[in-house]
Amino acid sequence: MFSFTSGWWTLLRAARPARSFSGRTIAVGAIADIKLKRRELVLTFDDGPMPQLTEDILKALDDAGVKATFMMIGAQASAHPALVRAVAEKGHTIGSHTQHHVNLRAVDPISAKAEIDKGRDSVATSLEPTRYRAAPLFRFPYLADTALLRAQLAKGDIVVLDVDISIGDENDLSPHQLYRQAMRRILRRGSGVVLMHDIHARTVAMLPKLLADLRARGFTIAHLVPAAALLAPMSAMSS
């Protein structure tokens, strides 16, 4: 009798759906729309796409069943348009990160605007043959913003995607050191937009374990998508 009962109990427990790692979809029309709850993260990957490494990142995200946002460099997108499309086809969101990863604080406002516009155009052009479109999300290289550029972007209905947690994968760490640093920084902050890069082998190497352990700790991964109103014209910055 005891084993009968415990057998049913085991069955019931097994039938209960596992807690989902894939969290909310957040429609973003302004930076203020990104209000994350405790243990809620947004994954972002900057500076790609990069052959092989971006593909490996896509596989890790697929295996974990979560969606991310890729902030692409225009020159990289133009060099690897098929990879831009592969990211879109997997259901991830694509924003831009200038044409050449320029520190926009170090150049004049006209050149800065040209860098931003060119980067957006390159990403958009890579997606043109498909039904996918880039999101009007922008991230400043080196997070080096200016008030003037922020105002210009806002006027053009482009959302600046800021960073709450940088895992620091631009530093020369082993995958294990990077995993520990990333986990420490995420746990300390508790929620937020996480900055990673899809151009480093160490990030690829530790990502599956990072995702598995975040899931085990009860985190969920929110997916940013552009608010419908922002998706209409793509040439917002040019006015």
Judged by the rule CB under 5 A, the positions of this chain that interact with Zn ion are: 46-47, 141
Report cis status (omega within 30 of 0) of the bond before 141.
no
DSSP 93: E
How near is the Cβ of 229 to Zn ion at its closest, in Å?
28
Report yes or no: 26 and 225 within 8 Å, Cβ to Cβ.
Answer: yes
Q: Which is nearer to Zn ion, 95 or 141 (CB)?
A: 141
- The one-letter code for the residue type at 39 is R
Report the candidate in 59, 35, 47 with the shortest Cα–Cα distance to residue 196. 47
How near is the Cβ of 43 to Zn ion at its closest, in Å?
15
Q: Which is nearer to Zn ion, 64 or 73 (CB)?
A: 73
Q: Which is nearer to Zn ion, 199 or 225 (CB)?
A: 199
How near is the Cβ of 6 to Zn ion at its closest, in Å?
54
How near is the Cβ of 101 to Zn ion at its closest, in Å?
6
How near is the Cβ of 39 to Zn ion at its closest, in Å?
26
Give the Å distances, CA to CA, from 10 to 2, 5, 19, 20: 12, 9, 17, 20
Reading the block at residue 92, the tokens are: 């991830």
How near is the Cβ of 109 to Zn ion at its closest, in Å?
20
How near is the Cβ of 170 to Zn ion at its closest, in Å?
8
Q: Which is nearer to Zn ion, 46 or 121 (CB)?
A: 46
Q: DSSP per residue over 201-239, as a string? A: HHHHHHHHHHHHHHHHTT-EEEEEEE-GGGGS-S-GGG-
**Nearest residue (beta carbon) to Zn ion:** 46
Q: Which is nearer to Zn ion, 46 or 198 (CB)?
A: 46
CA trace torsion 106, 109, 113, 119 (10° rounding): -10
Q: Which is nearer to Zn ion, 100 or 189 (CB)?
A: 100
Q: Which is nearer to Zn ion, 144 or 232 (CB)?
A: 144
Q: DSSP per residue over 54-82, as a string? A: HHHHHHHHHHHT---EEEE-HHHHHH-HH
HSE-up of 72 (CA within 13 Å, CB side)? 36
